[in-house]
Amino acid sequence: SQQGEEDPQALSIQEGENATMNCSYKTSINNLQWYRQNSGRGLVHLILIRSNEREKHSGRLRVTLDTSKKSSSLLITASRAADTASYFCATANAGNMLTFGGGTRLMVKP
């Protein structure tokens, strides 16, 4: 299956620091998406990067994709306490069916 697996599973940083989360997957993909989930809530789409793209930015978010290594990273710069959440990568096939990883739990301490 096209599994996304995040690393680390948990990350604790101070406000103002950068947070980097990594994702690896196994098979070819159409695109890769990152989502955020606050405890007990729905998933919020953050960013989509297509298989022919290498880097994408959205505000304080920077996503990279290396299809040769089957990996992606999400960088959150200048983190805030409000960024505390779980972050998931999800690989998409041609039909946009998503396969989610286990997530990274990010805690940003004020």
Partner 1 sequence: EPEVTQTPSHQVTQMGQEVILRCVPISNHLYFYWYRQILGQKVEFLVSFYNNEISEKSEIFDDQFSVERPDGSNFTLKIRSTKLEDSAMYFCASSEAQVHGYTFGSGTRLTVV
How does DSSP assign 29-85, residue by residue? -SEEEEEEE-TTS-EEEEEEEETT--EEEETTEEEEEETTTTEEEEEE-S--GGG-E
Does 42 engage in binding with partner 1 (CB under 8 A)?
yes
Does 91 engage in binding with partner 1 (CB under 8 A)?
no
* Residue 110 C-beta: closest distance to partner 1, Å: 26
| Span of 10-18, 26-34, 61-69, 72-80 interacting with partner 1 by CB under 8 A | 26-34
Measured from the CB atom, the residue of 30 and 67 that comes closer to partner 1 is 30
Does 96 engage in binding with partner 1 (CB under 8 A)?
yes
Measured from the CB atom, the residue of 18 and 96 that comes closer to partner 1 is 96
Q: What is the C-alpha to C-alpha distance for residues 21 and 43, in angstroms, rounded to an integer?
A: 17
Among 50, 54, 57, 109, binds partner 1 (CB under 8 A): 50
Q: For the purposes of burial, counting CB atoms within 10 Å of the CB of 56, is it exposed (0-12), middle (13-18) or buried (19 or more)? A: middle
Please give the residue ranges that form the binding site for partner 1 (CB under 8 A).
30-31, 33, 35, 41-48, 50, 88, 90, 92, 95-103
